[in-house]
Structures are given as structure tokens and as C-alpha cells.
Amino acid sequence: MPSTLRGRSVLVVLLVAALSVMPTRGASAHAALTSSNPSAGSSVSSLPAEIELQFNDELSDLAPALILRHDGRTLAELQPRIDGTLLRADAPGLDLPDGAYQLVWRIVSVDGHPVSGSIAFRIGEAEAPATEAPATEEPATGPATSGSSTNQPTAIAVGLAVIALVAALLVRRLLKRSHIKEEQP
């Protein structure tokens, strides 16, 4: 019986240790822009009533930003709303002349990483601007990480390692008790 207890204890410790080193979902996958309205590189007759940016993963509602620019100037800081994987904002009530425009965006993915980029498009008929600036992961500083600077997958791994250590100490204690009982007549 003691060897069965010892075998089970070793199995539990090995299972907990294996779980503590397994990669977690989202460890390196940050939200990425998949589509938008207006779309990158498009020419539209007017700005849509609602601007939408679609991402491949859920977004945090922590400090999203969406800015409309024209000729290097900020025309409007829009009021973005998060709806799952969508960033939405009502178009500004401005009379926009034909020309090149840019939507500059910044979001925080649910894994806590800030990501930003821009979408270039045109209003009116003319040569389309460059399509899209690539999204960039921003350093984990500033307001996007206020309140917690811990990366969630790292925190989970550390927590599991602590659990594994506690489990190993408990198993050791149980084995010592079992061994003492076997030696007593």
C-alpha cells in the first residue's frame, strides 16, 4: 500500500509540474487588425456613418483610441467603443474635402498588450494612398498597463510553479508520515 501511495504522489507532482511549464493561450498572440470600414487603400465617396475596425481577438476596453487625420493634421479624436472583436466609432459631423485620410488606432488586446496602427484611405476619386501601416506592439508602459504590469501568462506559470512546490512539500510530508508508521510495530 505505501508504494501505491508513493506512486500516486509522484504522479500528482509530475502532473502539476507539467502543467506549470505548459504554454498558455495568448502568450504571444496579440490582437491583429483583420478588416476595416473604410478599408485600407480604398477610395470612398464619403466617410461611412460608423467606422469599424475588426480584429482577430477580443479587445480590452482599456483606453482605445481612434483619430482621423488629413494632410498630417488631426481632424477629430473619435469616441471609440469596444464590442468584442470590433472597435467602432461614429463618424465626425464634418464636411470632409476630397483627399487622403488616415485612421490612426490604438487598442489593448485581452492579453494586456497595446497594439497600434493606421489605415490610409481616400475620399473622392484619385490615386489611392499607401494601404496600411503595420500594427505595432507598444512597450508595456504608460496608461495601457496601469494597475498591473504583470503579463497574464507569466503570472499563471508562476502561480502553477508555486502550487507544484506546495504539492511536492505536502507529498514529502505524507511520505515521511507513512514511512514512520511502517517502522512502528
Do 85 and 171 belong together in one domain?
no
Residues in contact with 181: Cβ distance below 8 Å, sequence separation at least 6, in sequence order: none
Do 115 and 166 belong together in one domain?
no
Do 110 and 178 belong together in one domain?
no
Rg (CA), the chain: 27
Do 137 and 80 belong together in one domain?
yes
Residue 38: is the preceding peptide bond cis (ω within 30°)? Answer: yes
Q: Highest-confidence range of 19-23, 92-96, 128-132, 141-145, by mean pLDDT? A: 92-96
Grid coordinates given for 104: 490612426
Do 136 and 49 belong together in one domain?
yes
Number of structural domains the chain divides into:
2
Do 15 and 88 belong together in one domain?
no
∠ Cα 139 142 143 (to 5°)? 125
Do 19 and 55 belong together in one domain?
no
Do 38 and 90 belong together in one domain?
yes
Nearest alpha carbon to residue 47 among 2, 92, 105:
92
Determine the structural domain holding residue 50 and report its residue range: 33-145
Do 164 and 117 belong together in one domain?
no
Query: Residue 127: which CATH number?
Result: 2.60.40.1220
Do 138 and 91 belong together in one domain?
yes
The CA distance from 124 to 117, in Å, is 23
pLDDT, tens only, 76-105: 999 999 999 999 999 998 999 999 999 999
Please say if the pLDDT value at position 168 is more than 60.
yes
Q: CA of 100: how far to CAs of 15, 77, 106, in Å?
A: 58, 17, 20
Inter-residue contact 120 to 101 (CB < 8 Å): yes
Do 170 and 116 belong together in one domain?
no
Do 125 and 38 belong together in one domain?
yes
pLDDT, tens only, 39-67: 999 999 999 999 999 999 999 999 999 99
Question: Quick one: which H or E segment has residue 107?
Answer: strand 99-109
Q: CA of 58: how far to CAs of 75, 117, 165, in Å?
A: 28, 17, 33
